[in-house]
Amino acid sequence: MQINNVLVEEIFVDEANRVGLVKSTLYEFREPRWISFHREREGRRIGPMTLLDEPQERDELLNVTIRQFGERQLHTEGTRHLAISYRDRWTILPWTVYALVLPKGFIASHIRVERREHTGWEPQLQLGVSHEDLLFYHTVFEWSESRHVFDVEARIEENSKRYQELLKSAEAVSGTNNYDRLRGAIGREAASSGFWFKLLELGGKLLGMP
């Protein structure tokens, strides 16, 4: 995917104090660049993603500006199994990728990204796995006549079992079960009174009834 900027928010745990922290980094490119969300790709790492190599360029560092916004502490509950609450609002340019990286062993029991402009289009979050086996959610804010303003909120909980399950299923694609779809359509049709009338009429014709 070709984009102009990448905004990465990395949530991690201060193990000494057992509290959640977030660190935000904005990568700005001078011209559109190709980004991959798949860790199997080769190239320069941009947060949890990969900036694909372009052979004609001698020095990629000349074409990206990195802005770091520092760390801030997040509301954290629990001691043995932590639950971290995160909420923020951002303003970004069109064609920016937004990525929220979770700590190792954590999952998002709730996550929502919502645009402030009510235009009928909402960003769709997808789950990925970084080179370090970290789960991350990402979306792309596409073309717009102005900047995108959006809210993001998440509840991030420590859950090693579910974390391992998501690692294995992040790249899986579910198939369509046509039998279930057909069975559902028949069930809806059978619930109508017209269906039984047609069935009785057909039965009468087959049996030769007047």
Report how far apart, in Å, the C-alpha atoms of 24 and of each of 38, 69, 90, 185, 187 are.
21, 5, 11, 48, 51
pLDDT per residue as tens digits for the range 72-90: 999 999 988 999 999 999 9
**Cα–Cα distance between 60 and 56 in angstroms, integer?**
10
Percentage of the chain modeled with pLDDT above 90? 52
What pLDDT score does 52 carry? 85
Which residues, other chains included, contact 99 with Cβ-Cβ below 8 Å and sequence gap of 6+? Answer: 6, 7, 8, 9, 47, 48, 49, 128, 136, 137, 138
Average pLDDT, the chain: 84
Answer for the pair 126, 95: CB distance below 8 angstroms, yes or no: no
- Note the pTM of the prediction, 2 decimals: 0.77
User: pLDDT class for 115, splitting at 50, 70, 90?
Assistant: confident
pLDDT band at residue 126, thresholds of 50, 70 and 90? very high
Closest CA to 102 of 60, 160, 53, 151: 160
β-strand partners of 137: 100, 127
